Structure 1
């Protein structure tokens, strides 16, 4: 599919949003980053700098503003869940037009409020698998050998999802469209939750987590697999374990990096999503609940 030049807004040009903005701008699309005044000033003056083992080092000129002032073709929502409510004030519903909203957020509970704020047929489910960090405003380090986006929207016309996937592939991302948004979100959560909770709780990268805390890891994987099956989105947890066993030993979760930097943690979006679904479906998850409580206590 040939994708014409599009106008893309990125709400939150951090590790994920900055990578998306940089690669789409490099591919020739018009990119508008929405952020706070300090970041906006930096981006206007110096653009986005990307350092990536996969895509190489590059510089991209982007537009930047504190609020969406004209309708784009696409809006990527890439802030942390802890900042979502405040960040959405930068995107008035009246300014969105008919843009497709693509939230690349952790957890599974964000679609309801987004579909209440914006037209439901313009909000898709989406996930990204990547390790990418904002090391300073406008400076992004992409350290994973992959960057893969999946889309699935029961409320969104299929052709819009196909167009968005083609746009992302044209910029260098892996991108695919799936039919079941619940399965899409739980596939991501089933991998993210154990990795985020355990690496943060033990202040350890993936290699140390899977070796020194393997019994706890296996217990959490079992519990999350049972919850996923109960919500109607069964996950191959052996495959999840295989991914964790094959991941670079020094890999860190974004939650662990947030903890190291003293930033707010997405404990509720990630661990809380599992606990709420477990409670709704009567699935006992004692190990996961203990981990969530310990991480929450650490965050203060």
Structure 2
């Protein structure tokens, strides 16, 4: 297969891991980062620790201003956004005019169900590929060095749905083959919004509660009281999906709870952000559920309570 050209916006734990995998497979990869992490990547390359293996790659890396001067959007076959969802709107303001100069598709690998809509406001729906990283945990452990663990699957699809003869379908087929050949288990779906909501069920079930309690996923799901709260927050997410016409079912709830309960003990990204004093992805996870429950006129007491406690500082103690 011919090599592809990727831009990874956000070379943190998740983005850095996938970028290193793609580069190892012979694809051209350019990174964006900031601060000490960026300077370390420029000086020494990117180091990724994954499941006992170490990937070290020297890759072009820029901050966003440098990127717009060094590259054109259509220098790439795909732009991947691996940033926290809290950064989606600011980055679209920073890079929006630059992105509009090209026609390259944009893949979001972020938490939540609202990122694709925010990106589409800038580049248009026909350029959006929705995606989710499944069963992966990762974070920056030192400048220029990231840690990742888990199966690290990707599910992607044309957003909000794939029309007949959709121009994105041939690219998705190429991406699916390229990612799998690079050791990234990847599938293409024709209903990406359904998959994004199923992931939100897990994210809302464990992320906010882990930040509040400082417990990992396994400790939460196997706790006699917190486990019930996890299930309750997941059930509220299933109910909220109806506001988007996705209509998850009891079966989805059972499957997602069983899945997260069988995970290894993983620190959620929100718990890591809490420990490091960084902004939490509350609005894109719990907030997304609460907004839709309000629209539907239904209560979400578990999500409301945990969200309120985190927003008012109890999780920082």
Same fold by TM-score, threshold 0.5 exceeded?
yes
Determine the C-alpha separation between the residues in 1 that align with 2:101 and 2:61: 16
Q: CA RMSD in A?
A: 1.9
Q: Does 1:238 align with 2:254?
A: yes
Query: Match of 1:269, SS?
Result: coil
The aligned counterpart of 1:20 is 18
Normalised by the size of structure 2, how large is the TM-score? 0.87
1:134 maps onto 2:140 in alignment: yes
Q: Report the CA distance between 1:150 and its aligned residue.
A: 0.5
Contact 1:11 1:87 in 2 (8 A): no
After superposition, the C-alpha distances for 1:150-190 in whole angstroms (9 at most, x for unaligned) are: 11212662222222222211211111111112201101101
Q: How does 1:89-168 map to 2 (within 5 A)?
A: 89-90=94-95, 92-94=97-99, 97-129=102-134, 130-144=136-150, 146-153=151-158, 154=161, 157-168=168-179
Q: Residue deviations 1:100-134, cap 9 Å, x none?
A: 20111111112222111113211111111111111
The secondary structure found in structure 1 opposite 2:284 is helix
Q: Which runs of 5+ in 2 are unaligned?
A: none
Q: Please tell me whether residue 208 in structure 1 is matched to residue 219 in structure 2.
A: yes
How far off its partner does 1:96 sit?
5.7
Number of the residue aligned with 2:186: 175
Cα distance in 1 for residues equivalent to 2:10 and 2:27: 17
> Does the 8 Å CA contact 1:152/1:184 hold for their aligned counterparts?
no
Matched residues, number: 295
Q: CA deviation at 1:63?
A: 0.6
Contact 2:205 2:231 in 1 (8 A): no
TM-score, normalised to structure 1's length? 0.91
Q: Distance in 2 between matches of 1:92 and 1:167?
A: 29
Instruction: Using the TM superposition, name which of 8-17 and 224-233 deviates more.
Output: 224-233
2:28 & 2:174 partners in 1: Cα distance?
Answer: 16
Say if 2:38 and 2:144, in contact at 8 Å, map to a contact too: no
Instruction: State the SS of the aligned residue for 1:10.
Output: strand
Matched with 1:49 is 47
Q: Deviations over 1:252-299 (max 9, x none)?
A: 110011001111100001111111121222232111111111122226
* 1:196 and 2:207 matched: yes
